[in-house]
Structure 1
Amino acid sequence: MPAAPDINSTERLDADIPGAFPETSRSQSLISTTHQTLADSLYERREEYTRPQEVKIKVGSWNVAGLKGVEQDVGAWFVGGKGMEESLVGMKIRDNPRESVENQEARRSSVAPTVPRNDEKALPGDEEVGIYALGLQEVVDITSATEALRPFTDPSVANRWKLAVGASMPAGYRLVAEQQLIGLLLLIYVSPTVHPQIKAVSTTSVGTGLMGYMGNKGAVTARLILGETTRLVFINSHLAAGADKAALERRIWDAAQITSRTRFDPISEPTGLAHGQAEGLGDEDFAFWFGDLNFRLQGMPGDDVRRLFTIHTKKLDSDDTSPSDDRSEISEQASSSQKTKDAVPLPPELDPASLQTTITSLLPHDELIQQQKTGKAFHDGWREGPIRFLPSYKYDVGKVGVFDSSEKQRCPSWCDRILYRTRAAKQRHDAKVKEQEEARKRDDQMKADGLGTTDDDDELLYDYDPDTDGAQDAYDEYEDSQDAEPETVVTKEGFSDEILLEYYTVHMRVISSDHKPLEAGFSLKYDAVIPNLKTAVHQEIAKDLDRQENEGRPSVTIVVDRSTGSLSPHNKSVTNSTFDGVDFGDVQFAKSKRRSLTIANTGRVPATLGFTERPVAQSQPQGAFPPWLTVQFDRDPDADSKTPAGNFNQQFTLEPADVCNVELKLKVDNLSLVQGLNEGTSSLDEVLVIRVDEGRDHFLPIRGNWQQSILSRTVDKLVKIPEGGVRKLQGQKPDRSEAVRFSVPREIFRLTEAIEDMTERTLAEWSMRGSDSDEEEAPWKHNAAWPFAGFEFNSDDEDMLADVYDVLDCDEAFDNAFPPGTAPKRKLAVLTRALLTFLQSLQDGIITKSLWEKLEESFIMHEKSRQQFAPDDEKMWALEILAEAPHHNASFLLIISTLQNIAMQIVEASKPQSPRSRPSIELPASPKASVRRMTLSKDPQLAIKQLVNKNHAAILAEVMFRAPNSGRLKEKDKSTRKERMANMIELFLNDN
């Protein structure tokens, strides 16, 4: 049985789940109050959604003694109502001919039913009964040590019984509960009309046999909810056997153990009765305890009891199939009554010669009745119907009325019993116990105070013994037969039910076991919940309570800027105007998009609000905002509010009618994210959560339409993109069969060409102003890494850079990215930044991991050989390796060519403008490469070129190469690797 949860899920609102109310003292109080009010209001209107129903319940018990073939009789007596002997149970003798006792006993076998042939139904059965509860004992031989100590229950036995019982059930009846414990088996079937009303079925078992826990004795129990209003419990038990005092004490102990150890699952289904805690015996509304309880006739000689009952069983005619046969003394009595018409026949209980008189004289010796009277067992509200039938134990197998003729000659006893208890009876018992305990305490206190102990016996105030109060010396049948009228019971949920015991009897003509089957029929009237009516009432109440509650809660209204901005001219998609959130429209790399929110306090109390954790998957980063979004309020946060970066956990308090504005800025500048956006594995769809303290959460959907970018792709993919740019492929699935269109990615062609052109123009402008101009020094004078470093970027440059990426994506002219009049120097700064970012974003790099592994291996080999190789030879082995990847090789050489041209332009610009002037040239700083002056040429122009090449090589090496296992290298090894990469580029740049 699963462990019970600590708290009922229907009563808990977890503040960690977005959308739930925060876990504060005030909110929890409101939630608890609301829940109780809702439940109370729903209960007050229960008449609107319940309708009276009536169901007949048949409870049957049979100890089958582990015999074979007994299951063939179960359908006839339990479902069909056959196998009765009316003359022995105080019922009218049937007039129809049926098989005689003699013939029935003569043909008894283990392969055919033993009930009389031509028998008719004497008790309600078939479709008349709505709930069948059958308890079987000893379905296996529990006297066998193998069975009693078996660590598991053999399901084949239960399957055999279920097959037999199920075959006898009317069409549509379904098994709703079953539980087996070694030899105990409980089966509960319900009709098609009752089945939809059955909820929260829970079964369990308690072993009380060997060592107090083994399953050869104990109980199997089922709890179910009927009509969402009524708890029913069925207990099938087999208590300790034996006729001595020790056995009686063990039976009492068994019953107490079953009562204390039985636990059912919490009612967690949507029945309206959920309480979130495991339930035990005593929590139900109606309970039925049945089985072989093994209580005997105490102090009675077995021979005497057998003799008394045999007088009545001998009256059974050996051939009662003929209606004209003489029916012994019973028929004679009936005939005599006809002759004396004016005589009033004596009731059986007043006739000294009747079976009922014999039963009444023996019942005061019944152990169960005695233990109930003395308050030792089954005294807490359990009742039993009037016993007007022969004992169910013990008979010779195959005989109708022959008591145990074995060597033991056991005394006939009512071992098999069916008890029932109502909630009202249990409450009356508990109230009586409490009253007795309080009276005892008062008496003890009075004794301690010296009160009530006078010489006058009339003043004795505490002469009371609750253990003997109400004890009787005789069994009073009439006391137990007061159930002729139905008993009204208020259920645990406050509904009014009625129960009536209609009959309680034994099937004498079932002869396949040494126990006779026992059954009791009940009629239960209950209020059943009609689900659709309850739902309507629940919604109505909840709506009204929500309205009342919300009036006292903080409430805000959020107005979203519906502007979607200008769509990219390359994407003519129309934004869905019905989107209830923030739509940023088309989103390009590095281009900022802004939207605004207006938050107004529309409630009657101050509202404290702020962004909180988003409902994201475990694989996504937590936080109030995704990494591509920033949020800014137009006011300062509350003084006691946390103020980490990104406004996460910041709180802002708005007074009633107060308003604040919030700006949301979206910018995608993370290359890893770009790769996911391009491939469709990431998106710009998010949900922000605005939490209002003690109010409800507001969910703010955010979306953006990502525009495909040339960044974060591979060289092999880029050479296949047609003219018109990657944006032309927006919304199209990639075609793996796309042909190669360029030897080098078009973006590298365009960027390198534009950078060369802008370098030339920048140097020309500087040259036109003159080298002696005070307005501006030479661009490379203080930074040999120029034009790939040394620029200061401002917001205008950032905007132009984003436009450069956009025109690359669309394969448009760079003039579209720069405002008119932009100086070549500014354009050059933007273009070189774009080239470095582009190269850095390549998934495979210009020099791939596999290429670099081979190149590095050659470098290491040359270093170890300590031989000097000619530059041309080194270039040749490098080009041989690069030739394995033609597109990467061509891209590498194109970039080398660009760097060479830029270096040549810088050297040319550094020459004196006048042939006659020979001023000394000051070398620029080398921020990217560590250079010793003595290693440079004495020729100033050549020294500048060497210095420029070293810095350019260091910068480009960081973005062009991809190396494996870089993260595992030591810092020294990393520096060595970077130096090798730069040396390779420099090797090609120094080619004059």
Structure 2
Amino acid sequence: MWPTLVANKILKKRLGSTNFIADYPCYDEPLLGFEDIDHSLETIPNHHKENHKYKIFVSTWNIGGIAPEEDLNIDDLLETNNNLCDIYVLGFQEIVPLKASNVLGSENNEISKKWNSIIRKALNKDEKDKVHSESSHDDFQCIISKQMVGIFISVWIRTDIRPFIQHPNVSCIGCGILGCLGNKGSVSVRFQLHETSFCFVCSHLASGGKEGDEKCRNSNVAEIFSRTSFPRGPLFNLPRTILDHDDVVLLGDLNYRISLPEETTRLLVEKREWDSLLENDQLMMELMNGNNLRGWHEGPIKFAPTYKYCPNSDMYYGCCCHGKKIEKRRAPAWCDRIVWHGKGLKQLEYTRSESRLSDHRPVKAIFTAVIKVSSEFKSIQSLSLSERFEQIKTPFEVSTTDEIICRKQSSFHL
């Protein structure tokens, strides 16, 4: 029985790159009947292109296998009370417990659907007020939602820029049990906005706080970079690997620890001496001197380590269990990180949220992305593209049995 389950899991991850959930199906054929429009854009001189700036929100959160309540408030995480961003990328790890039945068995999508419902409500706050309006619509729509065991990523786009998104794809890489199962690994998503390609890599790397365990994490990163691939597109001009994209963000429970004795780490955390700790942070060393992430960027860390907390507490594990035997002592660490690669990204914010839902704290970043838009194509899009999009989506607004993200709007398993 187990060999059959393992084989099925391996084969399932090799399904096509359009095997994901979205609010509407995506069309990669040339828009408006201009078969060569994408190709012609390559020959447009730069002085005929405009630079547009978009705000991108990225977060990562290890849930620890805890199912969220339907009324979970994530406003603090998304900062929806402040100015909204244009794109939201939310990555999660361990949305289901990493037990054998979840790792080897069929995918349990109920929790990911619940998370998508929570995200939709948070991003479209005035949805109830619009239900009875003729102009009822969501301000944000899900363009990609993909789960592999406990790793889950969900990408949301402001509705008015949704028509300018092309070529959304996914690629799942398992690095866990047997070197191929999805209890560890990555779910990568890519899409193109106007003429700029994006890739977001949601990862859960090898755990362990012993000396030398960081080599397993470095090996996971190398595997993810080498094995992740996307289709080249109808004109064979789309980026195929992670680093082929214009802008790349790696997010997740990367599990890198602090290479100091536990007692020293705890003392420095208590004193909030972040710089002394970061000098010995394994990911920092990999960014500066490593092979796989050298040349990547991370914003200044001005927040406390995000792992590991006692349940429903602000106290680190090992500090709150007095009188009880602790089987494993885990020193605090910045396990949850967001790093990026690409000249078009500028980080505006890098911080954490304070939800006590799990033993990790969520981490979030806000970027501006500079995107090139040809003035010729922009005028065509503004006149006709949204109208075309409204026409093609109507026939598909039907309910499916098991892929509905929320009650209000239909979703599709592509």
Whether the aligned pair in 1 keeps the contact of 2:307 and 2:334 (CA below 8 Å) is yes
**1:401 Cα offset (Å):** 4.1
- Cα distance in 2, alignment partners of residues 309 and 503 from structure 1: 22
**1:74 Cα offset (Å):** 5.7
Q: Which amino acid aligns with 2:289?
A: T
Indicate yes or no: 2:315 matched with 1:398.
no
TM-score (norm 2): 0.74
What SS does the aligned partner of 1:245 have? coil
Of 164, 172, 175, the match for 1:208: 175
Indicate yes or no: 2:382 matched with 1:511.
no
Alignment-derived partner of residue 244 in structure 2? 283
- Cα distance in 2, alignment partners of residues 234 and 414 from structure 1: 20
Q: Which amino acid aligns with 2:222?
A: A
Q: Which amino acid aligns with 1:61?
A: T
* CA shift in 2, pair 1:42/1:201, >3 Å: closer
**1:51 Cα offset (Å):** 3.5
**1:41 Cα offset (Å):** 8.7
Indicate yes or no: 2:141 matched with 1:141.
no
**1:515 Cα offset (Å):** 0.2
Alignment-derived partner of residue 347 in structure 2? 501
Whether the aligned pair in 2 keeps the contact of 1:208 and 1:217 (CA below 8 Å) is yes
Q: Which amino acid aligns with 2:100?
A: A
1:677-705 alpha-carbon deviations (Å, 9 max, x no partner): xxxxxxxxxxxxxxxxxxxxxxxxxxxxx
More strand by share: 2
Q: Which amino acid aligns with 1:68?
A: A
TM-score (norm 1): 0.32
Whether the aligned pair in 2 keeps the contact of 1:51 and 1:528 (CA below 8 Å) is yes
Q: Which amino acid aligns with 1:502?
A: L
**1:40 Cα offset (Å):** 7.4
- Cα distance in 2, alignment partners of residues 77 and 401 from structure 1: 20
Alignment-derived partner of residue 576 in structure 1? none
1:896-929 alpha-carbon deviations (Å, 9 max, x no partner): xxxxxxxxxxxxxxxxxxxxxxxxxxxxxxxxxx
**1:402 Cα offset (Å):** 4.0
Runs of 4+ that moved beyond 3 A: 1-4, 38-42, 44-48, 70-74, 401-406, 529-536
Q: Which amino acid aligns with 1:371?
A: E
What SS does the aligned partner of 2:279 have? helix
- Cα distance in 1, alignment partners of residues 376 and 199 from structure 2: 23
Show the 5 A alignment for 1:133-532. 133-142=89-98, 144-150=99-105, 152-170=106-124, 171-227=138-194, 229-268=195-234, 274-275=235-236, 279-298=240-259, 300-311=260-271, 355=272, 358-379=273-294, 381-404=295-318, 405-406=320-321, 407=326, 408-422=328-342, 489=343, 498-507=344-353, 509-529=354-374
Whether the aligned pair in 2 keeps the contact of 1:2 and 1:265 (CA below 8 Å) is no
**1:377 Cα offset (Å):** 3.4
Show the 5 A alignment for 1:625-774. none
* CA shift in 2, pair 1:303/1:288, >3 Å: same
**1:500 Cα offset (Å):** 1.6
* CA shift in 2, pair 1:366/1:74, >3 Å: farther
- Cα distance in 1, alignment partners of residues 181 and 41 from structure 2: 48
- Cα distance in 2, alignment partners of residues 232 and 155 from structure 1: 25
* CA shift in 2, pair 1:70/1:137, >3 Å: farther
**1:244 Cα offset (Å):** 1.7
Whether the aligned pair in 2 keeps the contact of 1:226 and 1:528 (CA below 8 Å) is no
What SS does the aligned partner of 2:159 have? coil
- Cα distance in 1, alignment partners of residues 372 and 76 from structure 2: 30
Indicate yes or no: 2:33 matched with 1:79.
no
* Corresponding pairs, count: 333
**1:179 Cα offset (Å):** 1.2
**Unaligned 5+ runs, structure 2:** 1-14, 19-27, 31-35, 125-137, 382-414
What SS does the aligned partner of 2:97 have? coil
Whether the aligned pair in 2 keeps the contact of 1:70 and 1:513 (CA below 8 Å) is no
**1:237 Cα offset (Å):** 0.2
* CA shift in 2, pair 1:130/1:39, >3 Å: closer
Alignment-derived partner of residue 85 in structure 2? 129
- Cα distance in 2, alignment partners of residues 296 and 70 from structure 1: 31
**1:373 Cα offset (Å):** 2.9
What SS does the aligned partner of 1:291 have? strand
Which is higher, the Rg of structure 1 or of structure 2? 1
Whether the aligned pair in 1 keeps the contact of 2:257 and 2:282 (CA below 8 Å) is yes
**1:295 Cα offset (Å):** 0.4
Q: Which amino acid aligns with 1:135?
A: G
- Cα distance in 2, alignment partners of residues 534 and 161 from structure 1: 37
Show the 5 A alignment for 1:64-103. 64-69=63-68, 72-73=71-72, 75-80=74-79
Show the 5 A alignment for 1:812-891. none
Whether the aligned pair in 2 keeps the contact of 1:184 and 1:238 (CA below 8 Å) is yes
- Cα distance in 1, alignment partners of residues 122 and 212 from structure 2: 41
- Cα distance in 2, alignment partners of residues 504 and 253 from structure 1: 26
